[in-house]
Structure 1
Amino acid sequence: MKYFNVTVMDRGKKRLELIKANDKMAAVKSAKHKFPSSMVLKAVETAAPLEDSLGNLLKGLKKSFKSKVPINDKISTIRQIAVMTDAGIAINDTLEDVSDNTSNQELKHIYMTMNSDINAGHSLSDAMEPYKEEFGHVALAMTNLGERTGNISESYHKLADILENIRDNNAKFKKAIRGPLITLAAMGIAFTILIMVVVPKFKDIFSKFKTELPLPTQILLKLEWAFSNYGILILVIIFGGIFTLKYFYRNNRDFKYRMDTMMIHPKFYLINKAIFLSTMHKYNLVFGELVKAGIPVSEALDTAVGMVDNLAIKEKLLAVNANIGRGMNLAEAFQITGLYENMLLQMIKAGEAGGQLDAMLDKVTNYYDMEFQDLIDNLSAYIEPIMMFFIAILVLLMALGIFMPMWDLGKAVKG
């Protein structure tokens, strides 16, 4: 949301009104609605008031520290709802039992509130709407489908299957990168200890040399000086930088878009491929399952794109539905995005022509899943050369930094 200073003419006098809107036209429209007896002259974008800026900052900080509902807890409660509704138990009684049985306090509160809303006459999808962020777009779509078909149980079993698939892939990726991250951390800690313990023992010896020290030795001495005098400050800067990046990534859309675009750039070895494959697998999985469940293609596309976290990829996928609305078929709309290989586009095209789109989407999803699993299974092999390179650099720097002055001293003695 943006802020606009809107100039209105009321009884021959001009005055400024601060209006909050998405764009200039919306601000003018809002001013006309808010002051029907006045004439709107112009609207100029302005900075947010201090109190609103502080309020947004506090909301952002609260959001940054707020933990997400664990996906295992969500899957467990969704499975319970599917089983209980399949047994013929009323949805309000089901939600009450699920609320009582879950140990997650946030989910307990959500299901209690949803139960109250249903008892007040709301539908299940209406009761879930305020918690779209907690449950996700696909949960709301499957709930709507279950209400339309009258089979909440089947829809929720399918929803749990989708979430389990996404959870398993995320878990595999985290497990695959855990080893390299631990190795990197151990390398950093070991190098820091060597700098703080070993280098000071040679510092006095180096200070007696009358000649200029080699570059590796100068680097080690400067690092030792920095760690000794500003070690705490360096840690604060590092953790502060990480927190700042995380905060802006979650709360500033422009910053997130730039970061997401950078992360899928070919220069980001492995990272770009992992993000692309996991995103496309998740998108096609949800889209295919929704189409298979009977949801219209247009609605399925909107729901599936809501599962995409990377804004750079999401921007391209958002154009798919718009292009379909202009008369393109699905394969043509996907081709314009540049995200699909020609083989996959031919499969989707054949599926549309033969009335077997859901079957072809399954094959596309399996392709991305196969590529992603191959990347995860071989991640250690891909990363190992990089790790060896960094280890070699650190060992070489330490060895040359300590021994080169000794060699020079030995040559001077011989001379």
Structure 2
Amino acid sequence: MSMQYFMYKVKDDAGRTLYGLIEGQTKDDIKKRLRRPNLFFISARPYHLQKLFKSRVKFQTLIMFTNRLSSLIEAGIPILSAMDILWRQSEDQTIQLVVSYMKRQLEEGNKISTTMEYFPRIFPVVYRALIRVGETSGAMTPILRKLTEFLEYKAKIILRTKKATFYPSIVVVFSVLVILGMFMFVVPTFQKLLLKLDVDLPVLTKVILEISTKMRTWGFFITVVFGGMGLYMTLNYLRRNPRVAAKIDGMVLKIPYFGHIFLTISLSQYIRSLSILLEAGVPLIESLTVANSTTGNQKIAQELDGIKNDAEQGVSLYEGFKKIKDIPVMLIEMIGIGESTGMMSQILEKVNRHFDEEIEYNIDRFLTMLEPLLIIFVGFIVIITLLSIYLPVISIWDSLSGY
């Protein structure tokens, strides 16, 4: 019988449930091999590794993994022992399986950076590049510290974005509910009254009543739900093509006001990654390639790819950045200073701080404007709806007062 991977489930002497991967032929074979004084076997079943290779974990889980690994390596604990400790400490099932698989690969003589290549959705390209440098240089501890700082920075950006969008999301949802409530419950009540009066209705009233009637049909909900799903799936499918994705992202960058924010966010991620990679000693061309994958915008990534191609031909970064029209002048000049002084990573760090402040300012400014605009919009819809309802009533009242 051929060997295959099994996912096993055990409990340690503290009662914690642990999951791992091991090669074997049968379940009984796995059970025998896992007999240890401090582990209690529960179950085992065949497992397809491709499922694990495509898995993801929460960002906070990755930060915790990196922070713990950094502490263990800094304390002088060998990598295999560190992996075993991480496996026992982890509470996330996916990360337990990943660590278990990585430990097996390390026992077979593979490098940790090589094993991480199997999990591109868990360990970002910047992460893997820095780990590779840490292995080559023997400076794994400072590299892991840098990685922890980088991940915590990204977590802060994500948290700030969530906080920034939380209140507007509530206002938007409330606005939609108010409008739906008006058209589905308030308008129909008056519609019955107006039909009983049998009067000639104004055009505005007819339009509002027609919209209300359409919104109360199953066809409306089916169109909205399936139309939204279809649009989402179509955009996702189109974005698989780099050229189409670049065109879509290019249009996003042209959106008034928001385009500049998206550009700044993409450049901030690129500059931050490039700064860390260069400081860690990653070669320039590789740093440019890896940093390019962090922009989150295909249009910008395509333009920045030209900088890497120019650098391979011996062209300076300053000249390469000057060719891209959307790059802020300040960034171009600061890169020129970084090249001339030999302090590129420090200069890029300063530029990144400036971009972060600019992003925060623009988001706060947008949120300040958004609240009154949404209130005005909802108020306008409510006024138009009420006006369309009361116009016929006012008309009838005027005609009756004439007698």
Whether the TM-score (by the shorter chain) exceeds 0.5 is: yes
CA shift, 1:208, in A, is 4.2
1:258 aligns with 2:230: no
| Residue 365 of structure 2 is aligned to residue 378 of structure 1 | yes
| Map of 1:4 onto structure 2 | none
The CA RMSD measured in Å over matched residues stands at 2.3
SS in 1 for 2:204: helix
Is 1:74 the counterpart of 2:68 in the alignment? Answer: no
Instruction: Read off the aligned partner of 1:307 and give its amino acid letter.
Output: T
Indicate the residue corresponding to 1:145 in structure 2. Answer: 133
Question: Which residue of the other structure, out of 202, 207, 212, is the alignment partner of 2:190?
Answer: 202
Choose which of 339, 348, 357 in structure 2 pairs with 1:352: 339
Is 1:187 aligned to 2:180, yes or no?
A: no
- Select the residue among 364, 383, 403 that pairs with 2:351: 364
Deviation for aligned residue 1:393: 2.4
Size of the aligned set, in residue pairs, is 350
1:82-121 to structure 2, matched below 5 A, reads: 82-121=70-109
Report how far residue 114 of structure 1 moved: 1.1
Distance 2:300 2:334 in 1: 21
Aligned to 1:306: 293
Provide closer, same or farther for how the CA distance between residues 276 and 82 of structure 1 changes in structure 2, counting only shifts above 3 A: same
Is residue 233 from structure 1 mapped to residue 222 from structure 2 by the alignment? yes
2:237 pairs with 1:248 = yes
The DSSP-based 3-state class of the residue aligned with 1:198 is helix
Report what 1:401 is aligned to.
388
CA contact (8 A) 1:213 1:405 kept: yes
Deviation sequence 1:125-172 (CA, Å, 0-9, x none): 111111123211111111011011102121111011111111111211
TM-score (norm 1): 0.78
Q: Is the 8 A contact 1:117 1:127 kept in 2?
A: yes
> Partner of 1:178 in structure 2?
166
Q: Is contact 2:55-2:122 (8 Å) kept? A: no
Which of 390, 397, 401 is residue 410 of structure 1 equivalent to?
397
Q: Could you report, residue by residue, the CA deviation over 1:71-117 in whole angstroms, capped at 9, with x for unpaired residues?
A: 10001000111110111111122122212221222221111111111
Give the whole-Å Cα distance in 1 for the aligned partners of 2:150 and 2:245.
26
Aligned-residue offset at 1:320 = 1.0
Gap change, CA 1:249 and 1:109, over 3 Å in 2: farther
The answer to whether the Cα contact below 8 Å between 2:134 and 2:140 also exists between their aligned partners in 1 is: yes
| Structure-2-length-normalised TM-score | 0.81
1:242 to partner: Cα distance: 5.6
* Unaligned ranges ≥5, structure 2: 1-50
In the alignment, does 2:118 pair up with 1:127? no
Structure 1 runs of 4+ aligned residues shifted over 6 Å read none
* 1:252 to partner: Cα distance: 4.9
Amino acid in structure 2 at the alignment position of 1:395: V
Indicate yes or no: 2:184 matched with 1:159. no
Report if aligned partners of 1:290, 1:300 keep a CA contact under 8 Å in 2: yes
The aligned residue for residue 10 of structure 1 is: none
More displaced stretch, 356-365 vs 157-166: 356-365
> Measured at CA, do residues 178 and 91 of structure 1 come closer, stay the same or move farther in structure 2, by a change above 3 Å?
same
Preserved contact between residue 55 and residue 119 of structure 2 (Cα < 8 Å): no
Compared CA separation, residues 382 and 303, structure 1 to 2 (3 A): same
Measured after TM superposition, the shift of residue 192 of structure 1 is 1.1
Unaligned runs of 5+ in 1: 1-61
